Every structure is written in structure tokens, then in C-alpha cells.
Structure 1
Amino acid sequence: MAKEIERKFLVASDAWRWGSDGGVLLRQAYVVAMEDRSVRVRTAGGERAQLTIKIGKSALVRDEFEYEMPVTDADELFSQAIGFIIEKTRYRVPVAGFIWEVDVYAGALAGLVVAEVEMESEDDNPSLPAWLGREVTGEQRYSNQFLAQDGRPQE
């Protein structure tokens, strides 16, 4: 079992793009969604698929279990989604020893851009790039689980 320790921010500008990779298209949906746990299916670039179980109520740290699965199974699970299927392009941006993941949402969530940084420890203190906006760590309405069920948050 791994621990997911991450901070999440809205993105204020496109300045992150100069240091990013080419991005990968992600499709994901939730087949179980509860207050303290979820089961998510995700495909990456249509070539890889993963089932992820997350458990925990903490805004910063949760238990995370990830398993590779056949893309055909993931496609079947998409038909069982709670809410709608999220589509986004994820870009990786290295900044001062940390990898920031910038998600540019499409479809019903178009216009939403969120950055996350995963940390090894709760004590890690990554540098915050100037292109970040407001921190939304712990704001449930910005979790992918809630986005899939409730849509884009109103600011």
C-alpha cells in the first residue's frame, strides 16, 4: 500500500507550459464514491488502464492502491460510472526537485486547470511556482470524485 501525500492548486497562468512535457490524455470515472473512499478506473492515452482505490478522510494524506488492468475492462467499467467520465490532459512540469502535474480539463469541465504536487512526506515543502493560483488542498469540490458527480465548481 502506498500513501498519497499531495497538495492541489488552481492554476493562474499558462507560464507552466514552457517547462512541461507533451501531456497525456486521461479518461477516468468512478465506480464507487463514498465520503472516505473511492474506486476509480483510468485510461492513459488509450494504451494503459488502471484501477485505483483511495481510502482516507485527510485532506493531505490517503491510502492508495493501484492495479494495472486491460484497457477493454476499463472501457466496460466506464459504462458503470457514477456521474460522468472526466477527460483531461495531464502535463508533468519539473520544478525545484518536485514534479507538478497540471491537469487541463475538457468537456463539461473545460476551462478548469488544476496543479498537484505529490510529496514523499507531509514535512516536504515544495517551492510554489509563480503560475499557481489559490490552494484548494482539502476542498472536496475540486477532487476528481466530486467533479465527476457535481461538475465544475462555481467560484
Structure 2
Amino acid sequence: MITFTQIEALYWANKLGTHTAASERLHTTQSAVSKRITEIEEFLGAAMFDRTGRTMQLTSKGREVLEIGEEILQLRDRLLERMGKPVDVVRRYRIGVTALIGLTWLPKFVQEMRERHPLVSIEPEIDLSTALTAKLQRAEIDLAIVPLTWAGRQFDWRVRF
């Protein structure tokens, strides 16, 4: 039997290009993603990815499974919505803060966010203002809370949704 979690692992590993990226998206470990894909392969008796190159490429069987798997996931979501059940999609929000914020009000903020919005995964990161703004510009974090200016420069504020 193939499960939704196995199909999701295959889907995200293919979409994001690595098991590690898929594990971050699914909030699990890289080994769990690998195991789920291996379970599909063992059940169907066919490899999902060509592992001979440096990049992950779906095999022809992998493309077939993924095509139908995407339909299965969409049908699952449609069924849940039609029955009035919210589709439990965990939203990941990476927030960067300076050390002072991390030591003062951030823990309470994260706790309250998790209580009020259980489907939002708050991932705080503490670093220097310069490092946080660089990470924000590279889209490695979604929000940076830092002093308005540093070293005489004005920030270019960008909100990413």
C-alpha cells in the first residue's frame, strides 16, 4: 500500500530537487523522506529516481507514479475541503532576529504564534543585523527584525508572502 506521506515525499523531493529540501518542506528528516521513497520503490518494484548522475531525475516509472500521485493529493484536498475540513497545510515562516530580541520578547512571541496559529511553523534564527539582511535578500528567511539602520545605511524593507 502507498500512503499520502510517501506520495508527498516523492512529490517534494522531485519539485525541490533534493531529499534534504523535501524534508525541510515536510518538517521531517532527510532519512524519513528517503525511507518513504524507498518504500514506494519496494512496493512497486521500480526505481523512482535515476541515481547515477549528480542530480535527481525521475525515471519513466517515477514520472508515471508522480503524475497519478499528484492527482491523488489533489483529490484528497478536494475531499477534505468539501467535507468542511481544513486542508492541514503547514506554513513555514522563517524569522531572523538580533540577539537582544532573541533574549527578550521572541520566546513569548513564538509561543503565542504556535498557540494561535498551529498550522504556521515559526522558525526563528538569531544572527547579526548584517547577516540577517543578507539572508533576507537571498530569501533564506522571510522576515528580519533588526534596528532600522546600521552603519549609516537605510534598509530596503521587503515583505515576502
TM interval, short-chain normalised: under 0.3
TM-score (norm 2): 0.23
TM-score (norm 1): 0.24
Higher relative helix content: 2
Larger radius of gyration: 2
